Amino acid sequence: MSELEQHDYDVVVIGAGGAGLRAVIEAREQGLSVAVVCKSLFGKAHTVMAEGGCAASMGNANEKDNWQTHFKDTMRGGKFLNNWRMAELHAREAPDRVWELETYGALFDRTPDGRISQRNFGGHTYPRLAHVGDRTGLELIRTMQQKIVSLQQEDFAATGDYETRIKVFAECTITELLTENGRIAGAFGYWRESGGLVLFKTPAVVLATGGIGKSYKVTSNSWEYTGDGHALALRSGATLINMEFLQFHPTGMVWPPSVKGILVTEGVRGDGGVLKNSDGKRFMFDYIPPVFKGQYAETEAEADQWLRDNDSARRTPDLLPRDEVARAINEEVKAGRGTEHGGVYLDIASRMPAEEIVRRLPSMHHQFKELADVDITAEPMEVGPTCHYVMGGIEVDPDTGAAVVPGLFAAGECSGGMHGSNRLGGNSLSDLLVFGRRAGLGASAYVQQLTERPAPAPADIEAATKTALAPFDPPASGAGENPYTLHSELQQTMNDLVGIIRKEHEVREAIEKLAQLRARYADVTVDGSRQFNPGWHLALDLANMLLVSECVAEAALLRTESRGGHTRDDHPGMNPDWRNKLLVCALDPATADRRVPGITVTPADQTPMREDLLALFELSELEKYYTERELADHPAAGS
């Protein structure tokens, strides 16, 4: 067996974005030893890229805001498919998590009277996003890293070693979770730089690996988003839910081609920017769907009045939930009213003075100037949908973050349920804080009650080693497959056939193509040594992308309705019979392939919403989503 570096920790957190770091802090506060492992540099995660802000009903910009309104907005955004308990915990706890960040040293933008400033975002009734210009995620990560350093200093004072309780393993990729009798026993991976193999023995793993966007060609996501946590969970026996729901953010850059997909924050629209087609028309007024009729402004004058004072008018349809705006842009472009490069215009230049734009949106100003030679204080941006966020993820217990495999926990974008069929902007950063903390607590409680620790079996370690090194083996047949070629074909397939608008025959075609790619994957071969070898890294990531793409495609085929981030051209409306159905992806027990195993997708019902939460909604609103039978228990039913 290849030489193996070994470590022993109470808890191993995989991922050092917002969810991972918050879990680390919590597990350490509970007195446990924690390893945090990340395949990127420490501090480089998607959380750093988050621009617009973190949603929490602190009521600083409008004191009418409260957790109940945030809860209702989140459920509406997710088209009532959300795990309601997660949505409740999230709405109740987000303000405390933001205030807590201040105690760690976060410096949010302020209101004139010195409170944390909050900005408008799509689907949120009140200005709710705590922010730091358009660099909020950076502040979140900076602050939590600072907190971790302060905890390490406390540990040094107590033990003489900074790393007794928290140790960071950066640029280290986990490729397998190891179990003993179905319980977590360890995590196996490799150092990206040296190619050395490493084993973490641990009874508890918190997955916080983020999303899956790199399976798509046009995406706002960077190289780390290859669905690793989703795939690790599946392979270890956990389940995934909601995988058919992908968020295509309405505003990615469309030009030049080298930057296509890079995000343009919703904060541009939150601060007053408007979408226009090539006729100069603010087209979003034509796209208010029936479920939101009456809740959005119907004229430009009313929309602009709302921006000045959101109590005296209805909100602008430019800030409808993301799925609605993305579909509207798609329609405009299809109807020939798009821009030269296949997007629509996003205009902030005509809406506020140049210096105000630079003050509020410094990153956007810089991004467009540097990458597209566009001055957003003088001309409109060209934007279009980009694959941004996966609502689907590891099925977890809402209160503890526990997956179905004992010892496995998940939080953040790699977990599923919280956002239902569509996430509201700003609800991810708050999700990371609320559920990162809860997963850290859940993992600690699990470890503390163990009487003996599971140990990884030597045969499993050997098999994990063999699988990790398989791409260096000579191909079974022919010349071998190049991982870059397969990746590019996968991205094109998902983009073209399981993208923003889906059709049955196209999804079936994608599933066939995925089966072919899976067969070809068996011959993936890489050259060179194990020392910093990106081809090898991609070859391993590719197995994860193939597996999660199959989950997306199979679930997209089964769900014969359109809801949130899943639009079926052949089943255009929402179907109340589907509202409460989860599609649960699991490993096919008959599978023989260790690298890209087969999956099953099975419908399951969710627990009905607690009565006091159901009563927060008017019956007339719920009737748009629920079946009659489900509403029989509503307090207003039959009155």
As beta bridge partners, residue 394 has 240, 415
Q: Which two tokens stand for residue 132?
A: 């730091």
Count the residues in the chain.
Answer: 639
Q: How far is the CB of 21 from ligand FAD (least distance, A)?
A: 8
Q: How far is the CB of 536 from ligand FAD (least distance, A)?
A: 14
Q: How far is the CB of 441 from ligand FAD (least distance, A)?
A: 17
Q: How far is the CB of 423 from ligand FAD (least distance, A)?
A: 8
Give the three-state DSSP class for 368. helix
Q: How far is the CB of 141 from ligand FAD (least distance, A)?
A: 8
Q: How far is the CB of 387 from ligand FAD (least distance, A)?
A: 10
Q: How far is the CB of 269 from ligand FAD (least distance, A)?
A: 12
Nearer to ligand FAD, 284 or 364 (CB): 364
Nearer to ligand FAD, 137 or 380 (CB): 137
Q: Tokens 């602009």 appear where?
A: 304
**Residue 235 annotated among the catalytic residues of the structure:** no
DSSP conformation class of 406: T
Nearer to ligand FAD, 389 or 521 (CB): 389
Burial group, residue 589, by CB count within 10 angstroms (0-12, 13-18, 19+): exposed
Q: Whole-angstrom Cα distance, residue 51 to residue 308?
A: 23
Q: Which two tokens stand for residue 122?
A: 């799509």
Whether cis (ω within 30° of 0) applies to the bond prior to 112 is no
Interface residue list for ligand FAD (CB under 6 A): 14-20, 37-40, 45-47, 49-54, 136-137, 173-174, 208-210, 220-221, 224, 228, 263, 389, 412-414, 425-429, 432
Nearer to ligand FAD, 252 or 576 (CB): 252
Nearest C-alpha neighbor of 215 from the set 468, 425, 427, 388: 388
Nearer to ligand FAD, 190 or 296 (CB): 190
Nearer to ligand FAD, 344 or 468 (CB): 468
As beta bridge partners, residue 174 has 189
Q: Residues near 32 by Cβ (< 8 Å), separated by ≥ 6?
A: 10, 11, 165, 443, 444, 447, 448
Q: What is the dihedral of CA 34, 37, 43, 44, to 10 degrees?
A: -160
- Cβ-closest residue to ligand FAD? 17
Q: What's the longest Cα–Cα distance across the chain? A: 74
Q: What is the DSSP string of 598-625?
A: -EEEEEEEPPPPPHHHHTTS-HHHHTTT
Q: What is the 3-state secondary structure (H, E, C) of 251-297?
A: EEECCCHHHCCCECCCHHHHCCCEEECCCCCCHHHHHCCHHHCCCEC
Nearer to ligand FAD, 344 or 543 (CB): 543
Q: Which two tokens stand for residue 548?
A: 């999660």
Displacement of CA 524 from its chain's centroid (Å): 29
Nearest C-alpha neighbor of 14 from the set 200, 236, 205: 205
DSSP conformation class of 284: G
Nearer to ligand FAD, 123 or 425 (CB): 425
Q: Which two tokens stand for residue 610?
A: 């607690």
As beta bridge partners, residue 180 has 183
Which is catalytic among the residues 97, 192, 322, 518? 322
Q: Whole-angstrom Cα distance, residue 104 to residue 149?
A: 11
Q: How far is the CB of 289 from ligand FAD (least distance, A)?
A: 23
List phi, psi (to 5°) of 298: -110, -5
Neighbours of 622 (CB within 10 A): 18
Q: How far is the CB of 560 from ligand FAD (least distance, A)?
A: 28
Residue pair 344/329 in contact (Cβ under 8 Å)? The answer is yes
Q: How far is the CB of 541 from ligand FAD (least distance, A)?
A: 8
Q: How far is the CB of 628 from ligand FAD (least distance, A)?
A: 35
Nearer to ligand FAD, 249 or 513 (CB): 249
Name the residue type at position 180. Answer: E
Q: Tokens 């009650």 appear where?
A: 449
Residue pair 174/155 in contact (Cβ under 8 Å)? The answer is no
Q: Whole-angstrom Cα distance, residue 232 to residue 82?
A: 23
Nearer to ligand FAD, 188 or 625 (CB): 188
Residue pair 411/205 in contact (Cβ under 8 Å)? The answer is no
Neighbours of 274 (CB within 10 A): 23
Nearer to ligand FAD, 277 or 465 (CB): 465
Nearest C-alpha neighbor of 155 from the set 24, 28, 14: 28
Q: Where are the beta strands (DSSP E) in 17-136?
A: 34-38, 54-55, 118-119, 129-130
Terminal-to-terminal C-alpha distance of the chain? 72
Q: Which two tokens stand for residue 507?
A: 């999804």
Active site residues: 322
